[in-house]
Amino acid sequence: MSAELPVELRAGLVAESGAASEERLAQSVERLIEAYRSGRPASAPILASRVDVAAYAAYRMPATFAAVRSALGQLAGAYPDFAPRTQLDIGGGTGAATWAAADAFPTLTGITVLDQVGEALDLGRRLASGADAPALRSATWQQWQASSVAALPAADLVTISYVLGELTAAAQAELLDRARRAAGVLLVIEPGTPAGYERILQARTTLLGHGLTVAAPCPHQDDCPLAAVRGDWCHFAARVNRSALHRRLKNAQLGHEDEKFSFVAVAPSPALLVPAGRVLRHPQFRKGMVTMQLCRSDGSAGPEIVSKKHGNLYRTARDVEWGDAWRSVSSQLT
C-alpha cells in the first residue's frame, strides 16, 4: 500500500531542510540510522540536536507517516465505526503519526503530542501550522518524559509509533500500561524487523491480558500463529516515495523505498469489529491463480489459493495486496 505524504507536509519538510547544510544533515542521517539499527534501549535522547531533528524529519517522517497511515487503514477497515475525536501521540517527535491520523480520521478535533525532545516538538509544531486539517494546526505539543509519573490524558486514539525500541523492557511495560488506561483505541507500531515484531507480540499479549480486543492486524484473538514459525514474523510494507532531498540524504538511487513495520491496534469493544483474514505477504500471481499467505479468523496461518474457477472471487483476488483483509475462500463460498 502507498500513502502519499500530504502536500503541506512535503512542502514543510523542504522548507525545514534549510536548517543546516545538506552535508551536516547527511552526517546526522548516517548517525541516526546507526543508532536506530543498534536496537539497544537509548540511555540519552537519540535526537540530540536541532540538526538531528531536521535530519529525522527529512528522512524518517515520510516513512513513519506511511507506516502509521497504512496501519490506521487496516484499523479503519476492521473497525468501521471508529470515529475518534481526540488523539494522544506518545513519543510523537515531529508528529508523523498525527499527520497520518488526521488523514485517516477527519473526525479528529483535538491532538496532543508528548515527547522528551523540545526541538522535535518545535519542528512538529511548525510543520503542523501549515496543515490543512484544523486539528493539526491547533495541536498541543508538550515536553514529557516516559519516566514521569503523571497520568496520561485520555484520548479516543492513542499512538505509540517507533518508540518502544528506545525503552528498556520495564519502561515499555510501564508505558503500555499507562497508555492502555488512557486509550480508547491504542495503536503500537514498531519497525518490521524480528526484534520489532517481538516487542509488538509482547505488547499484544499484555494488552489482551487486560481484556482488550485486537482490532488489527490480527483477524482473531488467539496466539500469533507466526510466533511458532522459525524465520517468519508478522509485518507489513508501506511504499514511500522519496523526494530528491530524501534520496540525497540517504545516498539512495531509487525513487521509493518500502517501509516495513509491525503493529497492533487494540480496542475495548469487540462488538464493533469486523473479523476477516489478513494477507501476510505479497501475493503471488500466476496464470489463472493467486496464492496468498493468509492469517485466518480461526487463528491459523497458511497459503490460500484462489483460481479462475472461483469466478468473481478470483477477479477480486487479483487486486489484493499485502496487508489487505481477505476472507478465506471457503468462508466466502458458504
Ligand X SMILES: C[S@@+](CC[C@H](N)C(=O)[O-])C[C@H]1O[C@@H](n2cnc3c(N)ncnc32)[C@H](O)[C@@H]1O
Summarize as ranges the residues that interact with ligand X (CB under 6 A): 45, 47, 60-61, 64, 91-93, 96-97, 115-117, 120, 144-146, 161-163, 166-167
Cβ closest to ligand X, residue 117 vs residue 127: 117
In the complex, least distance from residue 56 CB atom to ligand X, rounded to whole angstroms: 7
Residue 33's SS3 state is: helix
In the complex, least distance from residue 314 CB atom to ligand X, rounded to whole angstroms: 38
Cβ closest to ligand X, residue 58 vs residue 329: 58
Question: Any idea which residue has 516513512 for its cell?
Answer: 63
Question: Any idea which residue has 536541532 for its cell?
Answer: 50
Cβ closest to ligand X, residue 118 vs residue 299: 118
Cβ closest to ligand X, residue 56 vs residue 82: 56
In the complex, least distance from residue 32 CB atom to ligand X, rounded to whole angstroms: 9
- Strands 110-115 and 86-90, how do they pair? parallel
Cβ closest to ligand X, residue 175 vs residue 280: 175
Phi/psi of residue 273, nearest 5 degrees: -85, 150
In the complex, least distance from residue 38 CB atom to ligand X, rounded to whole angstroms: 12
For residue 323, what is the DSSP state?
T
In the complex, least distance from residue 313 CB atom to ligand X, rounded to whole angstroms: 37
Which helix (H) or strand (E) element contains residue 132? none
Q: What does the alpha-carbon distance between residue 321 and residue 304 come to, in Å, rounded to a whole number?
A: 14
Alpha-helical runs (H) found in 79-193: 96-104, 118-128, 134-137, 169-182
In the complex, least distance from residue 146 CB atom to ligand X, rounded to whole angstroms: 3
Q: What does the alpha-carbon distance between residue 13 and residue 57 come to, in Å, rounded to a whole number?
A: 7
Please say whether the beta carbons of 262 and 235 come within 8 A.
Answer: yes
90 CB-side CA count, 13 A: 31
Cβ closest to ligand X, residue 120 vs residue 301: 120
